[in-house]
Amino acid sequence: MMVVAGKGLPRMKHLNDATGKVGDPDAVFETISRFGHAYFRNVLDLGAVSRLKVRYLDVLKQLGVIDSAAEKPIWNGADLSDFPLKIEQLHEDKVWEQFVKEPAIEAFFTSLLGDRPFWFPIVEYRITPPVAELPEDPLIGRHQDGFYNIGMECYTCWVPLMEIDEQIGGLSVVPGLNHGEFYHDLNDHPRFRIPPGVLPEDDWARETYYPGDLVMFDKFTPHSGLPNTSDRFRMSMDLRVAPRSGTLPVLGEVLSFTEDAIEVRKDEGGVTKLAIDENTYCRWTSGARLPVSELRRLLRAGDRVLASAQNGRALILRPPR
């Protein structure tokens, strides 16, 4: 694939390396508060990462886009025009739950957070195919997680499952823009994307990533995946975590759902009723805002729901995913 890696991309700075702060939760949180992110090198158990990677490779083999005996995600030249945006099999199998229950992974995050981790059921399995040329806007995916999950008090954890260099792309962030301001265009309904030129072009940062690495960042931190101009698929996973002693979401079974209220039987016990008004952000898996009536059509009594709330009012209503 004849593509010049990095062509059209801004020059990238380095991430803030916080590897030496593992085991000192206050220092970790201070780093994220200051820089919007923390980068940790070779901290995740390689066995756990490898087992997760195998599940991704199995999907690529089933899709017929890598060779059946491949140990690396090298594209075999098969047609990619129908390659899925969402990897439904991994969602259905909930492989993230198996990963975070690995004893070494749970022990690491307990040390990192200074508390047992609470894993928000908001997960993305990223398998990014190679492209023949850079898009006109190579940072078109820029966004802030908190905009689409208002009130969810958690950190995003980006986990690379392979070596990811400049050509393969990977995660890039803008450090220091995590102090309570959203940069999304409120006139761009229903996706509310961050327009080109709003973020400082020269402040983007990334690394060459390796299995075992972790980037943890704040809900306000602008970030984007970079184009993959290599000969292989890029594999990574996004998780959301918070200390169990933190502000946790409402998670459970829908008992009733009307235009102005939702009643939920919570997983930890008890029933809560949340008011819904014009400011409640209703969404499905893509992040686009939906009318309450449309979410009611998709989310029925007996289904599971994830919500953030303030003073008895739902801020976000969405399915766990």
* CATH 2.60.120.620, the chain: domain bounds: 19-243
For 54-77, the pLDDT digits (tens) are 999 999 999 999 999 999 999 999
CATH class of 19-243: mainly beta
d(CA 37, CA 172): 11
Single pTM value for the model: 0.95
CATH architecture, range 250-318: Beta Barrel (2.40)
Dihedral Cα 142, 219, 109, 272, nearest 10 deg = -130
* φ, ψ (nearest 5 deg) of residue 274: -115, 135
Contact 270, 276 (CB under 8 A): no
For 255-309, the pLDDT digits (tens) are 999 999 999 999 999 999 999 999 999 999 989 999 999 999 999 999 999 999 9
DSSP structure string for 166-226: TTT-EEEE-TT--SS-----TTSTTT-PPPTTSS-GGG-B---B-TT-EEEE-TT--EEEE
* CATH 2.40.50, the chain: domain bounds: 250-318
Q: What percent of the chain has pLDDT over 70?
A: 98
What are the structure tokens assigned to 276, written together?
A: 């819904």
In this prediction, residue 133 has a pLDDT band, given cuts at 50, 70 and 90, of confident
Contact 277, 260 (CB under 8 A): yes
**Three-state DSSP class for residue 162:** coil
d(CA 239, CA 124): 7
